[in-house]
Structure 1
């Protein structure tokens, strides 16, 4: 997770415009059929985009969240002082068996060191009849919010693979993980978020902050290569205003 060892506000500027709206759609999936007084867990919470939505719906005392990045944990804990926010990885959740009515992982399975173990841990801490859910952008189908960047980069560097090979990036990936963990009634759906940008610079600038694989790729380019990439993207998207749509695969199952 070193690619996410950044300040919380950098991540928010990079992905928050998409992950905030996505959290509202994903919470509908992850809380479906879950008792209103059941505690819920946000796995890989980042700076708390999904945590905020869960707190809004459940109240902070019923929400727990974990992330391995210290700056994200600090930001989420500060924003939601009544929630149980801890530093931990998905593969070693610091909670008892059957502690939650629902566990949710938004945009994190693709970055787990062991996705099968992470989903297994989510199942372990979820009570019988509770719900385990995960979502990942459709990088494999070229429909994620980062897909314009990776397409343009690949046009300049044909050997580049982007994030399409990461776990969960294709339809059916998350279903297979949840099925293998022994979850029942596993279903997959698509979640779509459209975000407007007034200027090209508003969309491009967050990529220069070094967040995640895309930000790391941009940061690793020399100035001339970075300018070529920005020019290719500007030619595709225009100077603005324009909109970018991100589609995520979401899968959910019952313990």
Structure 2
């Protein structure tokens, strides 16, 4: 799968959902003035922007393994300490932050337990370490219509249901295995109104993430059949889609 894409392409694909989710996630992690927080797997900076609004640029750091995303986050949030790097090897010292957050990234980590353990390492004692992942196992992610249509055309396609962290139990288990205490979870729903089918569909054509890879792999004829099936499912628009993310947090 690829996230070596421009920040704007990712925003058109997922930013319309990750933006409002980031606000709810920051509320749930009790991010408040005076804290210092790191956004792990920051992407183009949806959660980073929420943190900056609440804490100021000098109290926020961010990291991502994609150079285009790091460049986009730096451009959008001047003054934030944005670094290129992986969650599994964070470039900060122990106890550097009050909170560490990973929004929609744990299921893409090469080693989620190690990544969350690193987040625990850089957070002071009793600070929150938190993560969100769409309910992939329950098929309640924003990509649900796409995966339903793919299943009609290719019943053997794995989709994203088996990704680590894609259910409440899986996400909680990852935090517990990373050594976090008092782990708890919540559901964070997000509803987005799409003005037209074309507005919803176009971002899937840019090869972003597993969904973009699946669409690209179909070839021109397969994409045409997929689009026909999706138009049948969704109609011309406008329409609302509600996605549900699981959020889990634990004490360092």
Fold conserved between structures, TM > 0.5: yes
> Where does structure 1 lack aligned partners over 5 or more consecutive residues?
none
Question: What are the within-5 Å matches in structure 2 for residues 1-255 of structure 1?
Answer: 3-30=2-29, 32=30, 36-255=33-252
Counterpart CA distance in 2 for 1:139 and 1:54 is 26
Cα distance change of structure 1 residues 227 and 62 upon mapping to structure 2, 3 Å threshold: same
Counterpart CA distance in 1 for 2:170 and 2:28 is 17
- Deviation of 1:166 after TM superposition, in Å, equals 0.7
Kept in 1: contact 2:127–2:251 (CA 8 A): yes
> Where does structure 2 lack aligned partners over 5 or more consecutive residues?
none
Structure 1 stretches of 4+ moved >4 Å: none
- Deviation of 1:132 after TM superposition, in Å, equals 0.1
Counterpart CA distance in 1 for 2:93 and 2:191 is 38
Kept in 1: contact 2:32–2:54 (CA 8 A): no
Kept in 2: contact 1:29–1:133 (CA 8 A): no
Classify the secondary structure of the residue corresponding to 1:18: helix
Counterpart CA distance in 1 for 2:73 and 2:2 is 19
- Deviation of 1:35 after TM superposition, in Å, equals 5.9
Counterpart CA distance in 2 for 1:103 and 1:95 is 12
| 1:133-162: CA deviation from partner (whole Å, max 9, x where unpaired) | 000001110111011101110111110110
Counterpart CA distance in 1 for 2:5 and 2:164 is 22
Counterpart CA distance in 1 for 2:32 and 2:13 is 34
When normalised by structure 2's length, the TM-score is 0.98
- Deviation of 1:36 after TM superposition, in Å, equals 2.8
Kept in 2: contact 1:35–1:101 (CA 8 A): no
Aligned residues: 252
